[in-house]
Structure formats: C-alpha cells, structure tokens
Amino acid sequence: MIRWFNHPKDELLRDLALPAVGASCTPEAAQNLALVVALRGLGAVSPNPLVGAVLLDSSNRFMAAGAHERVGGPHAEANILAELTKSLGEKGLQARLKGARIFVTLEPCAHEGLTPSCAKALSGTGLKEVMYGVTDPNPLVRGKGAEILRDAGIKAVDASSHSDFKPWSLACEDLAGVFLHNISTGRLFTALKIASSMDGVVAFEGDRRFWITGERARAYGHFLRMTYDAIGVGAGTVLADHPRLNVRHPFLTSPLMTRTPRRIVFDPQGRALEFSLGSNVMPLLNEAPETTVWLVAQHRKASDLIHRGEARGIKVVPVPVEPDSGRFLWSEVDGALQTLGIRSVLLEGGAGLYNVALGNSDMRTRPEVNKIHLFQSPQILGDRSPAGAKALRWNTGTSMQQFIRQDRVQLFQLEGDWGFEIPMDAG
C-alpha cells in the first residue's frame, strides 16, 4: 500500500500503478492513491493546487482516478467524469455511479472560474458520497462546495473532522501546502533546501564542486525543484559554482524534465551579475536566460544592470534593502516575485542566504520560512578545513524550535543520507 508520509515522493510517482478497473480497492488505498495521482500535475498547475481523486463503486471496486494536470485545464473530478462519460455515455454513467464514492484531496470547487464548478458537476451524477481531504480556504469555495453537494443529497465528508481520516487529511494539507498558504495569507511560500554534514557544515571557502550528500539525495533535490515555482541562490553560490539550476532527475520524464522553474539570484551589489555579464561561462545567462531573475539593490548602478541584463535576455529587478545590513527587505522580495507570478520559492543556498533565513538577522530581512528540506550526510566535515568551513548558524535568540510543526516532520532515507521535511508555522 502507498504511504505518503516518510517516503520520498519521487519514488511514489515513479511506482504509481493504477488498479485495474473493477479490482477491489479499500477506501484507505483509494485515499492514498488520490495523493500520488495528484503529482501528475507537478510543475504545471501553479497558482492552483495539486489535486487528485479516486472513484470507487458501491462495492469498493476501482472505477477511475484523475488529477488536475495543468493550470486552466479540467479539475481532478472533471477529468474522471469526462473519462467515464466517454466510455459509458451519460446514461451509463448515471447507472454506474449509483452508490459510488469519490475521494478527492481538496474540497470540490463551488465557483465557475476557468472551468465549471466541480461540486455542481458531481451533484447530478447519483453519487452517494464525496470525501475530501482539506477544505478549500478560497472564500469563493470554503464550505460552499460541500453545501452544494449536500443540497443535492450527496454525503459530503470533511476528512479533517474525523479522527480515523485525520492522517489522510494531514497528507492532503501537505500536498496542497503552497496553495493553502498563498490563499490564507496572501504571501509567498518559502522553503529552504539544505545539504549539511552532521556538524552543520554546508560549504568550504573556495572549495568548488564539493558534494556533501550522495547522488540519491541530489536527485531528490532535483525533484523538489519541480515542486516550486522558483529556485533562489545567493551571489556567492553563483560565483563559486556557476550553477545551472535546472531539473535533472533519473525518475522524471518529459514533459516534466523540460520545464525549468524560474531561477532567482540574490545579488544586492550586482557583483555576481557584473562577473556573469563579463564572462561566457555562466549557465544562468547562457541556458534559458528568460527564466532567470536577478535581484539587485535599488542603487545607482541598477538601471545600467537592468539594461545590460535585459540585452542578455534575463530579468533584472531592483529591490529595496535594509540600509545597515544591505540585505533585501523580505516583504519587498515577496512583492517582486509575486508580481512575476511566482507563488513559491525554494532557497537552495548558500551559507549566506541560509544564515539570513535561519540566523539572528533583522526580522525585516529574514524570509518567512514555511518549510525546510534538510539533507543530512553522516559525516563530520568541520575537521577537514576548520578555518574555511561554513556552517549553519541557527537562531538561538528567538528559538526557531517553536515554529517547527513537530507532528508533521517527515524523515526518509536516501541511500546513505537522511532527508527531513520540516514544516514551519509562520514566525
């Protein structure tokens, strides 16, 4: 049986095999299947959530599964209805859905947007029950989808309010985490991806191309890139590593592999940009430059950098900084990225960017960290080059500990390394 928690999600996607139509399927298996089917929309549905659904007949036999696969495209429930209508016809569908149950990871939508209302479409089908994992916080939907279903005589069950279904509901929250955060706060979802040794070392001064974790953890890092709208790095990482920041993963196939999330560089002084403009070795300018967004401080040189950057096909965005530290004001970064349609960002390092996010930095410049993806290698590296080792500096003043959602931390093995997924409350 598929288990969502404590599993690398790329393996769930790779191993996804739908049961044969008519095969028996427990409600619990259907719930878990709905989570994994939802991953079919990875990288293609933002700003919408990933949503999956599974339909069982009145004798708990598998009928169909569907996902929201692309923004503007049909929702998971609508995909299922369309598939069944094609094979059974309208009348046949009505007959087969008598007594059937659908498990969907998010409350069916109540409103007509780019697509028709799913709650209304389900209402006319003869379905017995709709169980959904999370209530949609969108004011146009919240509770209204369930109301439409109940008015049509369908049992609408919110899994979060039943202790037996709570684990599934938490997994559905995890799946839709970015969307739930965006809708309920209006803010960007920010995650950190950190590869660290046991003693917290993340880099060495001037030590190029040094891998802390093994290949499996690095492949998972590439999968994670698919799950966010953008990837962010500091100027130091660009200068040290000349990163490509694209998606290269052995389990992902086209079209997922061909999508490059937006690439963001935090470079207030423009020092990495100056270097990159004067060289031919920088993939961020040479490969898919239209996906690169370079954040620089609003300073005298900004308009010159915008002009020269745009001549190379990248976007250069001036952002106000806090004058003493020279760091970007996070609310301004949030606004600038959302203006570009970016709702989530995965900050990948390096040490400087991590320490602004996790250390004792000014609250105005500190990103609101919503999730940490930590890959830990069982090595002690500080001995290797004690003077040059760059280690994580956790904030011990106002402890980060209080923001960790302990009951939702996930842990899994990635060959010789450990992967942690640590959801955080807004601090």
Q: Give the residue numbers annotated as catalytic, written as ranges.
A: 77
Return the number of other C-beta atoms located less than 10 Å from residue 256's C-beta: 18
Q: Quick check: 240 binds ligand NAP (CB under 6 A)?
A: yes
β-sheet with 101-106: strand ranges across: 62-67, 52-56, 101-106, 129-134, 155-158
Interatomic CA distance for residues 404 and 126, integer angstroms: 44
Nearest residue (CB) to ligand NAP, 85 versus 279: 279
Interatomic CA distance for residues 14 and 16, integer angstroms: 6
Where are the alpha helices (H) located in 203-350, listed in sequence order?
215-226, 235-241, 271-277, 283-286, 302-311, 330-339
Which of 13, 148, 154, 351 contacts ligand NAP by CB under 6 A? 351
Strands 371-377 and 389-391: unpaired
Which of 212, 226, 231, 273 contacts ligand NAP by CB under 6 A? 212
Q: Quick check: 336 binds ligand NAP (CB under 6 A)?
A: no
Q: Quick check: 236 binds ligand NAP (CB under 6 A)?
A: yes
Q: Quick check: 356 binds ligand NAP (CB under 6 A)?
A: yes
Rounded least distance, CB 321 to ligand NAP, Å: 7
Read off the tokens for 181.
């955060």
Q: Coil, helix or strand for 193?
A: strand
- φ/ψ region of 78 (left if φ > 0, alpha if ψ in -120 to 50, else beta) reads alpha
Interatomic CA distance for residues 360 and 96, integer angstroms: 60
Kindly identify the residues of this chain, within the stretch 384-403, that bind ligand NAP according to CB under 6 A.
390
Q: Quick check: 195 binds ligand NAP (CB under 6 A)?
A: yes
Kindly identify the residues of this chain, within the stretch 109-138, that bind ligand NAP according to CB under 6 A.
none
First to last CA, the chain: 36
Rounded least distance, CB 85 to ligand NAP, Å: 48
Q: Which stretch binds ligand NAP (CB under 6 A): 42-50, 351-359, 395-403, 418-426?
A: 351-359
Give the dihedral of Cα atoms 352, 353, 354, 356; nearest 10 deg: 90
Q: Quick check: 353 binds ligand NAP (CB under 6 A)?
A: yes
DSSP string covering 76-133: HHHHHHHHHHHHHHHHHHHHHHTT-EEEEEEPPP-S-SSS--HHHHHHTTT--EEEEE
Nearest residue (CB) to ligand NAP, 77 versus 334: 334
Rounded least distance, CB 231 to ligand NAP, Å: 10
Read off the tokens for 87.
């094979």
- 296, 316 contact by CB (below 8 A): yes
Rounded least distance, CB 267 to ligand NAP, Å: 6
Kindly identify the residues of this chain, within the stretch 243-302, that bind ligand NAP according to CB under 6 A.
266, 268-269, 271
Nearest residue (CB) to ligand NAP, 156 versus 265: 265
Strands 155-158 and 189-197: unpaired
Q: Quick check: 4 binds ligand NAP (CB under 6 A)?
A: no
Q: Quick check: 241 binds ligand NAP (CB under 6 A)?
A: yes
Q: Phi and psi for 421 in degrees, rounded to 5?
A: -115, 115
Which of 350, 370, 377, 422 contacts ligand NAP by CB under 6 A? 350
- Go through the chain and tell me how many residues it has: 427
Q: Quick check: 349 binds ligand NAP (CB under 6 A)?
A: yes
Q: Quick check: 318 binds ligand NAP (CB under 6 A)?
A: no
Which of 74, 108, 137, 234 contacts ligand NAP by CB under 6 A? 234
Nearest residue (CB) to ligand NAP, 52 versus 268: 268
Q: Quick check: 235 binds ligand NAP (CB under 6 A)?
A: yes
Q: Which stretch binds ligand NAP (CB under 6 A): 78-86, 127-135, 342-350, 409-417?
A: 342-350
Residues near ligand NAP, by CB under 6 A: 194-195, 202-203, 212, 233-237, 240-241, 266, 268-269, 271, 326-328, 348-353, 356, 365, 390
